[in-house]
């Protein structure tokens, strides 16, 4: 039967969606429920995705903002974004059984921060104010030893007390391009500034940004599946926009307003590191109801990263 639907080309970015840190964090909550039984408390959204959080709630997870809301005697998981040192310390003082789902790549930045401060350096931390990862990283060092740099203007303006004893570190989910600009300013102003050995922006963040750039070059609009509080997802929207396309952050298929696609013949789709693949399929299926969809996956680098589970849960 001839179809009346208008054709729509879909370019689906790869890699997209879950990274190794998110996979690990969700598995930790699931295994904790299996091992200890429900309820298992989780401090902060395990990852910034409502679908993931709701699925875990259905299995017996209870999400709270602060440790004070966790009753005595129940296990608690710390989210993938990391926590200030005071949080596990408080949990220990209360005798709580806690499991740390902080991504190992965030923990690596925590250890770098500690070491730099031990060696007498003041840290300029490039990140976004109020984000839980930034709060967690600031909480690794004594107050006053780290200064937040959010923008190029901040990098131009910062006046460290001892400019020869400074270092910089970054949040893991920043824009690769913006961060390079900020670091260039810092290195020009403070030639002896110490930087991280590898990259603090993680492999998943940079791979997803490269992949969305690739599809954005070939389409008129891009949908990024992710949450407004998901830093890496919001960065994907910005990266697509910089390539000159219209980009929309959507939580899931039901957020789509088909009028956004008026005049669009090729639409790009990607997903942030905390957005499950089922939501990508749901979006494609939803578009298929309205359009004669032609789907193409645009494959970039292959990811093979897998992180070990915390000791104790491995055998579960
Ligand atoms: C921990 C570190 O940090 P962001 O807001 O992008 O977190 P999200 O939960 O969306 O993604 C997973 C994640 C967790 C990323 N980096
Ligand atoms: Fe870890 Fe990167 Fe995933 Fe964040 S985006 S959880 S730092 S792998």
pLDDT at 197: 80
Query: 121-140 burial, b if ≥16 CB within 10 A, otherwise e?
Result: bbbbbbbbeebbbbbbbbbb
Atom of ligand 2 nearest to the CA of 20: 8
User: What is the rounded CA–CA span in Å between residue 105 and residue 305?
Assistant: 11
Structure tokens that stand for 291 in this block: 């359009």
- Residue 82 pLDDT grade (very low, low, confident, very high; cuts 50, 70, 90): very high
Task: Give Cα 180 to chain centroid, integer Å.
Answer: 18
User: What pLDDT, on a 0 to 100 scale, did the predictor assign at position 121?
Assistant: 98
Sign of CA dihedral 139, 140, 142, 148: negative
Q: Is 133 a catalytic residue?
A: yes
- Cα–Cα distance measured from residue 188 to residue 164, given in angstroms and rounded to the nearest whole number: 13
Does 184 score more than 60 pLDDT?
yes
- Please tell me the distance from the alpha carbon of residue 78 to that of residue 268, in angstroms, as a whole number: 34
Residue with CA nearest ligand 1 atom 2 = 81
Ligand 2 atom showing the smallest separation from residue 305 Cα = 8
Please work out whether the CB of residue 133 comes within 6 Å of at least one atom of ligand 1.
yes
Is the pTM higher than 0.95? The answer reads yes
Residues 6+ positions from 129 with CB-CB distance below 8 Å: 148, 150
For the chain, what is the mean pLDDT? 97
* Local confidence band at 1 (pLDDT 50, 70, 90 cut-offs): low
Domains of the chain: 6-18+203-299 (3.40.1010.20), 20-103 (3.40.50.11270), 105-189 (3.40.1010.20)
Cβ contact 12:295 at 8 Å: yes
What's the 81 CA to ligand 1 centre distance in angstroms? 6
178 contact partners, CB below 8 Å, separation of at least 6: 152
- % the chain with pLDDT above 90: 96
Q: CA Rg, the chain, in Å?
A: 21
* Atom number in ligand 2 closest to CA 25: 6
Residue 69's SS3 state is helix
For ligand 2, atom 2, the nearest C-alpha belongs to: 202
Q: How many CB atoms lie within 10 A of CB 211?
A: 23
Return the structure tokens found at 244. 């000159």
The secondary element (H helix, E strand) that includes residue 210 is helix 203-216
CA dihedral 184, 190, 196, 199 (to 10 degrees): 0
Residues in the chain: 316
Is 235 a pocket residue for ligand 1 (Cβ < 6 Å)?
Answer: no
């Amino acid at each position: 039967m001839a179809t009346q639907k208008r054709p729509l080309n879909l370019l689906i970015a790869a890699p997209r969606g879950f990274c190794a840190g998110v996979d690990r964090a969700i598995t930790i909550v699931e295994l904790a429920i299996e091992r200890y039984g429900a309820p298992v408390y989780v401090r902060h959204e395990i990852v910034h995705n409502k679908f993931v959080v709701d699925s875990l709630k259905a299995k017996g997870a209870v999400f709270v903002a602060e440790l004070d809301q966790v009753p005595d005697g129940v296990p608690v998981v710390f989210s993938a974004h990391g926590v200030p040192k005071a949080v596990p310390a408080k949990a220990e003082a209360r005798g709580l059984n806690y499991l740390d789902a902080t991504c190992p790549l965030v923990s690596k930045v925590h250890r770098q921060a500690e070491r730099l401060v031990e060696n007498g350096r003041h840290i300029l931390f490039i990140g976004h104010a109020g984000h839980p990862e930034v709060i967690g990283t600031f909480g690794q060092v004594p107050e006053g030893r780290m200064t937040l740099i959010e923008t190029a203007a901040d990098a131009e303006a910062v006046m460290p007390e001892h400019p020869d004893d400074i270092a910089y570190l970054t949040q893991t989910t920043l824009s690769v391009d913006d961060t390079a600009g900020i670091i260039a300013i810092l290195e020009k102003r403070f030639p002896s500034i110490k930087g991280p050995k590898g990259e603090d922006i993680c492999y998943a963040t940079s791979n997803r940004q490269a992949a969305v750039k690739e599809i954005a070059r070939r389409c008129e609009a891009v949908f990024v599946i992710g949450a407004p509080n998901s830093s890496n997802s919001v960065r994907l929207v910005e990266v697509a926009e910089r390539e000159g396309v219209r980009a929309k952050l959507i939580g899931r298929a039901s957020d789509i307003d088909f009028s956004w696609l008026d005049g669009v013949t090729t639409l790009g789709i990607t997903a942030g590191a905390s957005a499950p693949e089922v939501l990508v399929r749901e979006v494609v299926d939803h578009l298929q109801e309205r359009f004669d969809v032609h789907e193409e996956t645009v494959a970039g680098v292959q990811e093979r990263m897998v992180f070990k589970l915390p000791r104790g849960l491995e055998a579960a």
